[in-house]
Chains A and B, each alone.
Chain A
Amino acid sequence: MIDTAIFIGIGLVVGPLLGGLVSGLDRILTARLQSRIGPPLWQPFYDVLKLWNKEKTVVNVWQAFCAYCYVAAASIALVLFFLRSDLLLILFIQAVGAVFLVVGALSSTSPFSQVGAHRELLQILSYEPLLILVTIGVFLETGSFKIERIYSWNEPLLMKLPFLFVVLGYALIIKLRKSPFDLSTSHHAHQELVKGLLTDYSGPILALTEIGHWYEVVLFLGFCSLFWATNWIGMIAIVVITYFLEVLIDNVSARLNWRWMLGYAWTMGLTLSMVNLVWLYAS
């Protein structure tokens, strides 16, 4: 009981702190890759604190409601992850949150917000099947969707699921809105589609979406850590390497349109997953 409470606390408090630090690190790394110095590590926290203390302007009630639901879903997903619950359940809750963010953007009549929301829907459509396939692969190997069981598996999953890990990395680029798939809204192109999906979120509501994003970043880095869960060093190494590659790809690639995204994600993702799943089934 006490353990559960501690894990919930860690999920709710340490999650966003970690997510904010990761995104601060992301911004510094991006700046260094562009031979700039970049903002301080705490920059994302300054941004959120400032936004939190701005005037609350909402387009309509539904937008605010959807932003709160997004944060709630993202935080519940992360807490369930820390409680080592069911992986499938976590992914579904996370998907509900992602859809709420889109509905919030759709509830305003701004064309930029609408276009951004439609693009985000296409992004969800691209990465969700891949995430489910990765989860199925994990299930075939360990025989359980429970994270507790996956963490106690005595062999790194990466050995058996290398292609599925590539697919997960691919889904992660789309999910975390990194270039070349930052179609709906971009962290670095500040004037693309005005701000796309986030155009009509402002002030404290924008801060909420940012906090929700931090929860999601930590959740997905946790997902990556499942692939080398036998020891702490492997776990940290795989997370660090994956995130570094994400930032690197973010900086070396230009933005693609949604046809390329859907085409690449589904052909490459589904093929690699199938190969890995068949291999797993045969061995």
Chain B
Amino acid sequence: MIKWLIQKSRIKSPWLLHYDCSSCNGCDIEILACLNPVYDIERFGIINVGNPMHADILLVTGAVNHRNKKVLLNLFEQMPDPKVVVAIGSCALSGGIFREAYNLLGGVDKVIPVDVYVPGCPAKPEAIIDGVVLGLQKFRQKRVEEKSYAGRGDLRQF
């Protein structure tokens, strides 16, 4: 009963945090198109927060470079468990057309563990919504004890 309540409350109240690694803004515009009042996502309890310490779901767009890898890892580690990472767009998945560039590490999963990959250049709003819904299923199932460390060692490595 209590487990059911907790799972229900998680499904009903996912708070999103949106971070743009080095995206061209295409995916970000599509994300914000999903979040605007026209679709009224507050119906589903979704709130676009600006504070990683309050967030449950991290939406990341763009490929990771040497400048922002620390920022991304920092944001991820500030989010309390359980948490879900959704990588959105080709660049966030693998580096996209920029993957050979000398200043890039590659996709988001080079730095933090990713739960859901949403492909597309830019990803369509429908695909983003699908991805977040899939992320919600994972968020519901996660246990609090289940720690998702990116590994403190990684930070030293950077």
Contacts and interface: CB of A to CB of B under 8 A. Distances in A.
Interface stretch (A32-40, A132-140, A236-244): A32-40
Nearest to B37: A36
Given A55-B144, A190-B49, A191-B50, A31 B40 contact: yes
A55 B50 contact: no
Contact of B48 (A54, A55, A190, A199): A190
Nearest to A201: B53
Contact of B51 (A45, A46, A194): A194
Contacts of A47: 9, 13, 45
A43 B42 CA distance: 10
How extensive is the interface on chain B, given as a class? 20 to 34
Given A49-B5, A54-B81, A206 B13 contact: no
B66 interface: no
A175 interface: no
Contacts of B144: 53-55
Query: Which of A27, A40, A55, A198 is the most central at the interface, judged by chain B CB atoms within 10 Å of its CB?
Result: A55
Contacts of B81: 54-55
Interface residues of A, number: 31
B10 interface: yes
Contact of A200 (B10, B47, B50, B53): B53
Contact of B6 (A37, A38, A42, A49): A49
Q: State the main secondary structure of chain A at its contact with B.
A: loop
Contact of B45 (A46, A57, A200): A46
Contacts of B42: 27, 31, 36, 38-39
Given A38-B40, A55-B80, A49 B50 contact: no
Contact of A195 (B9, B43, B45, B49): B49
B67 interface: no
Contacts of A38: 40, 42-43
A123 to B, nearest CB: 20
A149 interface: no
Contacts of A199: 51, 53
Contact of B13 (A31, A43, A55): A43
Interface of A: 27, 31, 34, 36-40, 42-43, 45-47, 49-50, 53-57, 190-191, 194-195, 198-203, 206
Interface of B: 5-6, 8-10, 12-13, 37, 40, 42-45, 47-51, 53-54, 56, 80-82, 144
28 contacts: A27-B42, A36-B40, A38-B42, A39-B43, A39-B45, A42-B12, A43-B13, A43-B45, A46-B9, A46-B13, A49-B5, A49-B9, A50-B6, A50-B10, A50-B12, A53-B6, A53-B10, A55-B80, A55-B82, A190-B47, A190-B49, A191-B50, A195-B50, A195-B51, A202-B53, A202-B80, A203-B53, A206-B54
